[in-house]
Structure 1
Amino acid sequence: MNNLTEFEKYVIEQKGTERPFSGEYVDYDAQGVYCCKKCLAPLYKSEHKFNAHCGWPAFDDEIAGAVKRTPDADGRRVEITCHQCGGHLGHVFEGEMLTDKNIRHCVNSVSMVFKPVEELNQLASQKSTQKATFGAGCFWCVEAIFTQLNGVLSVQSGYCGGNACDANYDAVCSGKTAHAEVVHITFDPNIINYETLLTVLFESHDPTTLNQQGNDKGPQYRSVIFAHNSQQVDAANTFIEYLTAQRIWPNPIVTQITAFDTFYAAESYHDDYFAKHGEQPYCQLVVKPKFDKVMAKFADKRK
């Protein structure tokens, strides 16, 4: 979660409203993605934005699953909030005939942060390799699994998604920095695609336990996808919608989808931990059973 100013807290957490025509994004027309200011979850694409001349940024569509609608207590308007963190965005209106979609998300600029296309929307054809960043509990387990996949060029354990401007194992384990333990993956999309990585991710942990994997408890163990571009946002949302429809788990999926920001590499003694310390009790009791199960299922994807 991002640290908020007092005014940002007033709007996002206390459901306030910024003054009309005062927001940063009222007339903004750059190409990219608008994300939640509080949790960085992607909300709207630039192509959804239009000029409604109302004093606030307006959008006639949203990224699938990103926005929650709740009628106001008086029934006169419908509030929109970030589906991931509950942060207040504004209100949604229908029937105004301002665009062909006949809908207007009226959003406070202060509730959003803009990620330019150069940062979030790199096309796969422009790069020979791509990045993926996942949190799924202890990174010792996750690193061991993804390292074995054909097409995965490197896997680095580390920390992402916190408030602090630096991260180390002791600070992250305290739970006070809000970082997640993650694996930062470099892969060749010509050999393994992002959807396959998502499949392995959801096979290798329980995405329905909030801030917990087995006996490992705390926000650093949360289930989270840090998306590097809008294609990854779409792919992750579509994949979670599919899993939800299949009712594979009895409880709701709580995996966060958040725009990638800063990755901090873990201390060197975490590198290849399972390969180097496979006989230790934690590796034998926790990492190895999970590793063997996932590798058996994806034997055809192994190097």
Structure 2
Amino acid sequence: MNNLTEFEKYVIEQKGTERPFSGEYVDHDVQGMYLCKKCLAPLYKSEHKFNAHCGWPAFDNEIEGAVKHTLDADGHRTEITCAQCGGHLGHVFEGEHLTENNIRHCVNSVSMVFTPLDELSQVSSASTPNEKATFGAGCFWCIEAIFSQLKGVQSVKSGYCGGDAKDANYDAVCSGRTGHAEVIQIEFDPAVISYETLLAVLFESHDPTTLNQQGNDKGPQYRSVIFAHNSQQIDAANRFINALTEQHVWPKPIVTEVSAFDTFYPAENYHEDYFAKHGEQPYCQLVVKPKFDKVMSKFADKRKN
């Protein structure tokens, strides 16, 4: 979660409203994506935005599953909030016939942060076709061991992502005060293994319904989270989570965060290939190995020779 100013808290957490025509995104027309200011969850694409001449940024669509609609207590207006963190965005109006979609999300600029298209774009070239994926699913020892065995995965690095601090180390992150999650960053060849397959392995590798916890490992550093590197990954992650929800794969609601990737801090060297080097240790035998064996048996055809 991002640290908020007092005015941002007033709007986002206390459901306040900024003055009309005062926000930085009222006349903003750059290509990219608008994210939740509080949790960086993707909310709107630039193609959803239009000029409603109302004094606040207006959108006639939303990223699937990103925005929650709730009728106000007075029954007259519908509030919109970030589906991930509950932060107040504004209100939604229908029947104004301003666009073909006939809907207007009236959003406070201060509730959002913008990421330009070039920072969301997928990085690839003929010489470097690999892509990156960054996942958090509890202790990084567990998922590092699993993903490193998949065909098409070139490398897996353990580290930290998603915190407020400008640096991260194991002791600080384990305190739960920095806001970072233990993650792995995967470099993979999309011609061999798809991002959707990586998502399937991710959700088989942990319980996405336990908030800030995996087994006996508790704290925000163990949260379930997907840090998307581009808009395609954002869409794929939301589609995947929505499909799991609709199919009732899990008996409880999925709490996995989908956030825009920011900064990855590599973990200390002794975390590298931890299961491969220390597989005889009790934690590895009791926690990592059973999970590793279960996932590898299900994805045997995806395993490296």
Shorter-chain TM-score range: over 0.9
Tell me which moved more, 115-124 or 20-29: 115-124
> Residue 253 of structure 2 aligns to a residue in which SS?
coil
AA aligned opposite 1:72: D
Q: Is the 8 A contact 1:32 1:121 kept in 2?
A: no
Corresponding position of 2:56 = 56
Cα separation, 2, equivalents of 1:217 and 1:104: 40
Corresponding position of 1:45 = 45
AA aligned opposite 1:179: H
Q: Is the 8 A contact 1:180 1:219 kept in 2?
A: yes
Cα separation, 2, equivalents of 1:74 and 1:124: 51
Per-residue CA deviations over 1:124-169 (Å, capped at 9, x if unaligned) read 6786111100000000001000000010111000001111111110
* Residue 86 (structure 1) shift: 0.5
Per-residue CA deviations over 1:270-296 (Å, capped at 9, x if unaligned) read 000000000000000000010011111
Corresponding position of 1:280 = 281
Q: Is the 8 A contact 1:50 1:59 kept in 2?
A: yes
Q: Is the 8 A contact 2:209 2:250 kept in 1?
A: yes
Cα separation, 2, equivalents of 1:124 and 1:109: 32
* Residue 72 (structure 1) shift: 1.0
Instruction: State the TM-score, normalizing by the size of structure 2.
Output: 0.98
Per-residue CA deviations over 1:3-31 (Å, capped at 9, x if unaligned) read 11111111111111111111011111111
1:113 maps onto 2:127 in alignment? no
Q: Is the 8 A contact 2:123 2:131 kept in 1?
A: no
Corresponding position of 1:150 = 151
1:145-294 alignment, distance < 5 Å: 145-294=146-295
1:2-21 alignment, distance < 5 Å: 2-21=2-21
Per-residue CA deviations over 1:32-75 (Å, capped at 9, x if unaligned) read 11000000000000000000000100000000000001111111
Unaligned runs of 5+ in 2: none
Cα separation, 2, equivalents of 1:16 and 1:245: 33
Cα separation, 2, equivalents of 1:211 and 1:221: 5
Instruction: State the TM-score, normalizing by the size of structure 1.
Output: 0.98
AA aligned opposite 1:155: V
Cα separation, 1, equivalents of 2:99 and 2:123: 28
AA aligned opposite 2:85: C
* Runs of 4+ residues over 2 Å off in structure 1: 121-127
Q: Is the 8 A contact 2:2 2:39 kept in 1?
A: yes
Corresponding position of 1:85 = 85
* Residue 122 (structure 1) shift: 2.2
Cα separation, 1, equivalents of 2:13 and 2:52: 25
Per-residue CA deviations over 1:180-207 (Å, capped at 9, x if unaligned) read 0000111111111100000000000010
Identity %: 82
Unaligned runs of 5+ in 1: none
AA aligned opposite 2:157: Q
AA aligned opposite 2:54: C
1:136 maps onto 2:137 in alignment? yes
> Residue 54 of structure 2 aligns to a residue in which SS?
coil
1:22-37 alignment, distance < 5 Å: 22-37=22-37
* Residue 121 (structure 1) shift: 2.7
- Number of residue pairs aligned between Structure 1 and Structure 2: 303
AA aligned opposite 2:10: Y
